[in-house]
């Protein structure tokens, strides 16, 4: 996965309050129309930030998820899960 | 002719304005005020701000390595920073002259004529000016999306910037403002447990601070390899903003340098010329 769409989605989360609210209410439904790979969708919905980071999601964009506890990611959960993630090539 | 009358370097953390009132007694606003005194004394007519965008002005669909804003006015913040909203003037003549001088010298800026800016420019301007009524020239450096421009290249850009200031055929007192950290990780693998940030290489930050104190600029340029800046955190590259400013300043010791804070990988410094 190139993670470009994941990055775009995280960017939208930060700048678009209505999209953010939709993700808060029903994450799977809110991102259903996004052109993500199955792998990306699974990782996002599962809050697997390590996997997304290693795939190329930029931390400044990915990190927006934990500002509002989206995809189950509180700052504590986020910090714990991203620990040990390898830098993408 | 225009002239460089001051240069300052400060951090730009987005949580500062909501946490620390400008006139507050905490260390952060007091240190901004110490820098502001030097800036005020220089009586600048314009400020060139050298900072990095955080995917708020630009995005991955088209992310510039070096960019400059050439417009009559701009505004911000265009991110979620809790701070006053500002509309501010741009020093268009100087911006255009830097753009043309850069192009002739091989620095091919991306140009935006319609833009807003994020906390990296606005937080420092909020603390260092009275309502940003002074015209600004925004210069963006890519400090956090690999591959970064080299320290050598950024230093060269700063030297070019100085040449542009010195050759602008207009009476104008110009200050250069660089913003950012030397060591900082945001939302990456090296954050502190339970936190959104970390400081992975405080020793490097302290080392750079010492180099600045002694005006050992050439050493900073040599030592600030991509690997070293990355070791210092995923925004360790913000040192590049400072290196641009140091290129404009030359090997001159700062008139003011706050003691290094061993918790925070940043610095507050001021140069003035008269």
The alpha-helical segments, DSSP class H, found in A1-89 are 4-15, 17-25, 27-30, 38-45, 49-54, 59-62, 64-67, 75-82
Task: Looking at the complex, report in whole angstroms how far the Cα of residue B184 sits from the nearest Cα belonging to chain A.
Answer: 12
Q: Do A14 and B79 touch (CB under 8 A)?
A: yes
Q: Which two tokens stand for residue B163?
A: 């040449």
User: B79 is written with which tokens?
Assistant: 């991110």
pLDDT at B95: 98
Question: What's the CA gap between B36 and B129, in Å, rounded?
Answer: 7
- CATH number of this structure's domain B3-272: 3.40.830.10
Q: Which of B80, B145, B186 sits opposite A63 (nearest CB)?
A: B186
Q: Which residues of B touch A77 (CB under 8 A)?
A: none
| A11 interfacial to chain B (CB closer than 8 Å) | yes
For B61, other C-beta atoms within 10 Å of its C-beta total 9
pLDDT score for A6: 98
- Taking alpha carbons only, the member of A58, A57, A63 closest to residue A78 is A63
How far apart (Å, rounded) are the C-alpha atoms in residues B117 and B90? 12
Q: Report the 10 Å Cβ neighbour count for B146.
A: 12
Q: Is residue B144 within 8 Å of residue B237, measured between CB atoms?
A: yes
Minimum distance, in Å, between the CA of residue B89 and any CA atom of chain A? 25
Assess whether the previous peptide bond of B147 is cis (omega < 30° from 0). yes
How high is the pLDDT of residue A1? Answer: 47
- pLDDT tens readout for residues B106-164: 999 999 999 999 999 999 999 999 999 999 999 999 999 999 999 999 999 999 999 99
Q: Does A60 touch chain B (CB under 8 A)?
A: yes
Q: What is the mean pLDDT of residues A59-77?
A: 96
Name residues of chain B where pLDDT drops below 70: none
Quick: pLDDT tens for B162-179: 999 999 999 999 999 999
Give B230's contacts in chain A (Cβ within 8 Å).
87
Check CB contact of A58 with chain B, cutoff 8 Å: yes
Which residues on neighbouring strands pair with residue B252, listed in sequence order? Answer: none
pLDDT at A88: 84
Residue spans per domain, chain A: 4-82
Q: Is the pLDDT of residue A7 over 70?
A: yes
> Nearest by CB to A75, which of B80, B189, B196?
B196
Rounded to the nearest 5 percent, the helix, strand and coil shares of chain B are: 35, 20, 45
CB A60 to CB B54 under 8 A? yes
Nearest to B59 among A11, A79, A85 (CB): A11
Two tokens, residue A49:
């930030």
Mutation for testing the B interface, residue in A50, A59, A88 having most B CBs under 10 Å: A59
Six-digit token string for B86: 């500002």
* Interchain pair B194, A59: CB under 8 A: no
Largest CA distance in chain B: 54
Rounded CA separation B111/B134 (Å): 21
Nearest to A60 among B187, B194, B230 (CB): B187
* ipTM score: 0.95
């Amino acid at each position: 996965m190139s993670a470009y769409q994941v990055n775009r989605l995280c960017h939208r989360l930060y700048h678009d309050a209505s999209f953010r609210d939709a993700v808060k209410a029903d994450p799977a439904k809110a991102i259903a129309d996004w052109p993500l790979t199955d792998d990306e969708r699974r990782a996002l919905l599962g809050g697997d930030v390590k996997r997304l980071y290693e795939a190329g999601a930029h931390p400044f964009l990915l990190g927006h998820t934990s500002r509002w506890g989206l995809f189950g990611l509180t700052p504590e959960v986020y910090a714990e899960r991203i620990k040990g993630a390898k830098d993408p090539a | 002719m225009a002239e460089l009358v001051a240069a300052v370097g400060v951090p730009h953390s987005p949580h500062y304005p909501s946490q620390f009132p400008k006139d507050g007694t905490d260390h952060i606003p007091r240190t901004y005020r110490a820098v502001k005194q030097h800036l005020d004394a220089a009586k600048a007519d314009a400020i060139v701000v050298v900072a990095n965008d955080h995917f708020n002005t630009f995005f991955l669909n088209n992310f510039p390595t070096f960019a400059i804003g050439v417009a009559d006015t701009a505004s911000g913040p265009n991110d979620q920073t809790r701070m006053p909203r500002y509309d501010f003037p741009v020093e268009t003549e100087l911006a255009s002259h830097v753009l043309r001088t850069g192009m002739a010298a091989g620095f091919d800026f991306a140009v935006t004529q319609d833009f807003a800016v994020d906390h990296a420019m606005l937080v420092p301007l909020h603390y260092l000016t009275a309502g940003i009524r002074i015209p600004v020239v925004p210069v963006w450096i890519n400090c956090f999306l690999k591959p970064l421009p080299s320290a050598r290249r950024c230093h060269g850009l700063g030297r070019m910037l100085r040449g542009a200031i010195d050759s602008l055929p207009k009476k104008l007192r110009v200050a250069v403002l660089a913003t950012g950290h030397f060591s900082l990780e945001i939302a990456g693998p090296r954050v502190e447990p339970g936190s959104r940030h970390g400081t992975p290489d405080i020793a490097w930050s302290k080392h750079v601070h010492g180099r600045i104190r002694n005006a050992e600029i050439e050493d900073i340029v040599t030592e600030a390899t991509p690997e070293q800046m990355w070791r210092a955190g995923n925004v360790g590259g913000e040192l590049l903003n400072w290196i641009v400013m140091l290129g404009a300043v030359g090997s001159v010791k700062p008139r003011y340098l706050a003691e290094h804070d061993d918790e925070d990988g940043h610095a507050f410094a001021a140069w003035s010329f008269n």
